[in-house]
Amino acid sequence: MEDKGQASVVGGLFAIVMVILLFLSMTYAQLKYIEIMREAYQKVRLKDVINESLELEVNYTIHTRMLASSVTTYEVIIGTLVGGNVYSLNYANDDDHMIIESKGSGGGILEENLIKNSEFDEDFNYWDPKVESPGVGEWNVVTVGGDNVAEFYAYTKPPTATAKGSLSQEVEVGSNVQEAILSFDFWMYASRKPSLFKLLVFIDNKVIFEYEWDHLGSSGWIHKEIDVTSDLEPGTRTIKFFIQCTRRKRSTVFKVRLDSITLNVKRMVAPYLGNVIVVKYNIDLPPLTSSAYLELLIMTNAAARIDIYVFDYEKEVFELVKGVFTDGDDWFWIDINVTELQRLEDVLKFMIYLISNNPIELRIDYLSINLYIFNPGGAYVKIKNLSSSATYIISLWLINATHHTRFSVEEYLDVNMTLIVPISNSTFLLSKGCEYKVRVWSKVRSYEILFETPKV
């Protein structure tokens, strides 16, 4: 009986061992299968990651084309306009051209008025009107007989019986000045006989004219011309009109009016190196214009170098942006990209500078004006699928320093197809001068693009 019991125990243990071994082998096989499946999945996923490719593009502008004559003015600085005008620039490949002939070589006397806004038709643009201590009085541009004039008005009364004001402008004086005449009209008025009522004119700190009105009522308009040739040194000079009004005992109204202020300078200029044409164009821009693309269709009748300059408002200079050489007698295009820094104001300024060894004629047939206007409520992201198979777009994020905004997409995008996702609207606007990041999530990975909105 004992032998039978021992045999049963041994048999039972053997059966248990066999079950355990069988379980372990099955577990190993399952783990190996899972590992193989995981490796296969990773290979498939890696293949998807490698193959998937999305291209992102952000658009936050509206493109518009402008007719040259509707927004453009011009000035021929050197040369002679012999045909056409700004309307000649409206259409290409017609027989209507703006034609400018070069100014012949050789120096001579250059005559120019150094005072800007002489007639005050641009309010006080270029001028610096000031009310001096004790702070009584004011400057205004008023209309008299249909003509704009600068007026200093003061109402004095005891104990503050004095008013002082000044009006000045800085001018740039070139070298070799042969003659300089300062000319202006003035008018003075006092409602009572003044104690002291003076007009003084300065060049820098030197008094070049002084006039005193000591009567009740008006002086009438007085015209004055002053030879200031010996007072003008090359460089930046300040022309200043200074007014002092005093009536010690009773309240008094004082008025001084100035008009037609010119500084006509004649100076000797050196000969030109060749035959030169210089033309400046101003293009009025709509609000929120962020950039521009211009094209000129031009031709010369002889070999020449043509440079294009664009005015940079930040640096306050015309900067060279394009230079070409032409053999002449063939029409060709010049394109001009204008960035935000080159037009911080609402006027785009550019200049054509042409020089040749021969007398030359410049023909301009067409000025194409393409403007890109910041559209803060109509921005969008363009997503293009460059993969070899369709991909699934989950979402898009718009991120800046203060906000993270999610836009749900949940769409399949076929190969070479494009998806447009709006990222702003009338109630959710992009900010000016702000850095943004766009992040697009697919099922496989994320894609990013950075952009900065203009400062307009």
Question: What is the arithmetic mean of pLDDT over 356-377?
Answer: 93
pLDDT tens readout for residues 192-228 = 998 889 999 999 999 999 999 999 999 999 999 999 9
Band of the pLDDT at 7, cuts 50, 70, 90?
A: low
Residue 37 belongs to some domain of the structure: yes
Helix extents (H) in 52-194: 68-71
Which pLDDT belongs to residue 6? Answer: 57
Which pLDDT belongs to residue 398? Answer: 96
Domain boundary among 372, 396, 413: 372
CA atoms within 13 A on the CB side of 40: 6
Tell me: pLDDT of 186 over 70.
Answer: yes
Average pLDDT of every residue of the chain: 88
The partner residues of 386 in beta bridges, in order of sequence, read none
Residue 227 belongs to some domain of the structure: yes
Indicate whether 214 and 298 sit together in one domain: no
pLDDT tens readout for residues 46-67 = 455 558 999 999 999 999 999 9
Number of domains in the chain: 4
Indicate whether 29 and 68 sit together in one domain: no
**Containing structural domain, residue 125:** 112-269
Indicate whether 236 and 135 sit together in one domain: yes
Residue 441 belongs to some domain of the structure: yes
pLDDT tens readout for residues 413-451 = 999 999 999 999 989 999 998 999 999 999 999 999 999
Residue 58 belongs to some domain of the structure: no
Indicate whether 125 and 244 sit together in one domain: yes
Q: What is the 3-state secondary structure (H, E, C) of 352-406?
A: EEEEECCCCEEEEEEEEEEEEEECCCCCEEEEEECCCCCEEEEEEEEECCCCEEE
Residue 300 tokens, joined: 């010369």
Indicate whether 247 and 147 sit together in one domain: yes
Indicate whether 383 and 428 sit together in one domain: yes
- Domain CATH number, residue 344: 2.60.120.260
Indicate whether 92 and 118 sit together in one domain: no
Domain boundary among 372, 401, 430: 372
Indicate whether 77 and 145 sit together in one domain: no
Distance CA 113, CA 180 (A): 9
Domain boundary among 269, 288, 320: 269
Residue 56 belongs to some domain of the structure: no
pLDDT tens readout for residues 267-317 = 887 665 458 899 999 999 998 888 899 999 999 999 999 999 998 888 788
- pTM of the complete model: 0.53
Indicate whether 73 and 191 sit together in one domain: no
**Angle (nearest 5°) at CA 64 between 59 and 69:** 155
Question: What is the arithmetic mean of pLDDT over 255-270?
Answer: 90
CA atoms within 13 A on the CB side of 257: 20
Indicate whether 125 and 258 sit together in one domain: yes
Indicate whether 145 and 19 sit together in one domain: no
Residue 211 tokens, joined: 């006039």
Distance CA 8, CA 328 (A): 116
Please say whether the beta carbons of 55 and 383 come within 8 A.
Answer: yes
Residue 59 belongs to some domain of the structure: no
Please say whether the beta carbons of 392 and 406 come within 8 A.
Answer: no
- Using CA of residue 229, residue 231, residue 234, residue 239, what is the dihedral sign? negative
- Domain CATH number, residue 392: 2.60.40.10
Indicate whether 288 and 428 sit together in one domain: no
Band of the pLDDT at 8, cuts 50, 70, 90?
A: low
